[in-house]
Amino acid sequence: MQLTNKIHFRNPRGDIFGGVTAAVIALPMALAFGVASGAGAASGLWGAVLVGFFAALFGGTPTLISEPTGPMTVIMTAVIANLTASDPKNGMAMAFTVVMMAGIFQIIFGLLRLGKYITMMPYTVVSGFMSGIGIILAILQLAPFLGQASPKGGVIGTLQAIPELVTNIQPVETMLAVITVAIIWFMPSKLKRIVPPQLIALIAGTVLSLVLFSGVDIRRIGEISATLPTMQMPTFEIGQLQLMFVDAAVLGMLGCIDALLTSVVADSLTRTEHNSNKELIGQGLGNLMSGLFGGIPGAGATMGTVVNIQAGGRTALSGLTRAGVLLVVILGAAKLAATIPLAVLAGIALKVGLDIIDWDFLKRAHKISLKGALIMYGVILLTVLVDLIVAVGVGIFIANILTIDRMSQLRSESVKTITDTDDTIHLNADEKRWLDEGNGRVLLFQLSGPMIFGVAKAISREHNAIGECDVIVFDLSDVPHLGVTASLALENAIEEAVEKGRHVFLVGAAGQTKRRLNKLNVFNLIPPHYLYMDRGEALKDAVNLIFPELNQQNQILDLGTSATS
């Protein structure tokens, strides 16, 4: 694995222009997410620089733009709120430690090559928790949108405080927030291609607040230090260590999902294929460095990535350029951000929250699948009102159970017991002949397709329904995979057949199926000469074993045919 991302200078103009354009979009978003998280505008800016730089340099998606995102900000907000409430002195330092730990988790996921498994989730669950995160982000902006400080208690606390927030509304700040949302929402598409609406809204809102409301007390960002950040040493409290590990795992996993889903978008636009494991390592290094220097966490950002690609970015040089431009802005123009109203940033973040909600699928989910829609709505409610990890865990569990049940039903149809020829399975002429001549005393027990654990019930059901017979031919010719539970069910069927004095023939056991049955010592129950690779031969020998006189007649007929010829 190449250590750094692929960087070449065959497309310098496109990469530089893409990076500069992405930086223009990132600036207002970084400020908004930094303030929304509770860490401050400077933390948002440094998070955008550090995550973006290291993810671009060491990641596996050349055109990916990484920065603080809505989903990551929602989790970081909860982390900061919980840790500062339990330990006001060290809470913020512990929150940045959680960011470092999340980065380490992501690096471990990448080193263990788990990238391809991270996004293997039902879309109903992904849509549900993304919509839930969007709703949370929007709810958390209600207080600053109305010109007030955010109440304690997160989502529930904000919902409970709505009557009080409405009563104490600050008209000027609310108007600035509404104007901000309106600019972003209604800005013409042609103009959006030239300049990002978030930047226009940021500038317009700030200028209006200074020109029209200079005498009004408006809450603003305040001065941002124009110096390099100081290193934040990891801080732990034994009593909070378990909570920190859980928060870091959630933050790391969400960052992986967010980044890899965006990588898929980048692949579709550039017709390339990203390296998911390398991307996780790059994302982890970015978040590790961001937490180490007091920045909030980030992940692959769809908006920045799409804009970068559309502007001409094709290699990691675009991401590095973006980080460099933001660094220059922070060190050279940070003091200009002091006058930005918090209500304007709340308007930007509120619009992001609304955009995260999967409106398209919400409108169609019930038409596609009622069960899928219920899973999605359940994940949304659990995400908003309970906890993200609980929501994802419950959603995946229910979705997988329903999928396994459906797959088991389909696979169960491929478990059949047959004593005479019919149309349920495809037999050649010789196999049909021998099965007919078995006269019901030879039973073909056929399994086909992957035998997952849900099929074990069907094996047991068919086995229990077996009537009187002398020979059972278990046909595994079409079984590419035999699960443990299905193996045990098959072993039980063979054991019971042997105990009842029936002859057991086994056909087609090969590869993984053979190895699994061998480990279960199933072959000790069956004489070696009853093991076959050809179903026709097994049926023929089974009939000859039960009707030896028929075997003699066939031999006489064969001799006569040979003499005549």
Question: Over the chain, what is the mean pLDDT?
Answer: 88
pLDDT tens digit string along 351-385?
A: 999 998 999 999 998 888 898 899 999 999 998 98
Predicted pLDDT of residue 247:
93
State the residue for tokens 């982890």. Answer: 284
* The pLDDT of residue 242 is above 60: yes
> How far apart, in whole angstroms, are the C-alpha atoms of residue 487 and residue 502?
20
State the residue for tokens 């020979």. Answer: 471
* Rama region for 446: left / alpha / beta (φ>0; ψ in -120 to 50; rest): beta
Residue 220, classed as helix, strand or coil, is strand
* The pLDDT of residue 154 is above 90: no
The pLDDT of 215-219, averaged and rounded, is 87
DSSP annotation string for 362-380: HHHHHHH-HHHHHHHHHHH
Assign domain 413-564 to its CATH architecture.
2-Layer Sandwich (3.30)
- pLDDT grade for 348, boundaries at 50, 70 and 90: very high
Pairing of strands 471-478, 442-448: parallel
For the chain, give every domain's residue range: 15-213+238-364, 413-564
* The pLDDT of residue 431 is above 60: yes
Predicted pLDDT of residue 271:
86
pLDDT tens digit string along 460-473?
A: 888 887 878 899 99
The pLDDT of 178-194, averaged and rounded, is 90
* The pLDDT of residue 443 is above 50: yes
> How far apart, in whole angstroms, are the C-alpha atoms of residue 232 and residue 47?
13
pLDDT tens digit string along 256-286?
A: 998 998 998 898 888 888 899 999 999 999 9
Most confident of 122-131, 278-287, 552-561: 278-287
> How far apart, in whole angstroms, are the C-alpha atoms of residue 267 and residue 271?
5
Predicted pLDDT of residue 135:
94
Q: Of the candidates 63, 113, 119, which has an alpha carbon nearest to the alpha carbon of residue 256?
A: 119
H or E stretch including 396? helix 388-412
Amino acid residing at 272: T
Instruction: Catalogue the long-range contacts made by 379-384 (C-beta closer than 8 Å, 24 or more residues apart).
Output: 379/124, 379/125, 379/128, 379/129, 379/132, 380/128, 380/129, 380/131, 380/132, 380/135, 381/132, 382/132, 383/128, 383/129, 383/131, 383/132, 383/133, 383/135, 383/136, 384/132, 384/135, 384/136, 384/139, 384/155
- What is the phi/psi pair of residue 444, to 5°? -100, 115
pLDDT tens digit string along 83-101?
A: 998 888 899 999 999 999 9
Predicted pLDDT of residue 5:
62
State the residue for tokens 């050809």. Answer: 534
* Separation of CA 438 from chain center: 53
- pLDDT grade for 553, boundaries at 50, 70 and 90: low
pLDDT tens digit string along 468-491?
A: 889 999 999 989 989 999 899 999
pLDDT tens digit string along 16-42?
A: 999 998 998 899 999 999 999 999 999
Predicted pLDDT of residue 557:
47
- pLDDT grade for 335, boundaries at 50, 70 and 90: confident
Contact of 23 with 52, CB cutoff 8 Å: no
In Å, how far are 202, 420, 446, 452 from 432, measured between CA atoms?
79, 8, 14, 29
DSSP annotation string for 412-458: HTTEEEESS--SSS---HHHHHHHHHTTTSEEEEEEES-B-GGGHHH
* The pLDDT of residue 304 is above 80: yes
Contact of 395 with 377, CB cutoff 8 Å: no
Bridge partners of residue 442, in order along the sequence: 471
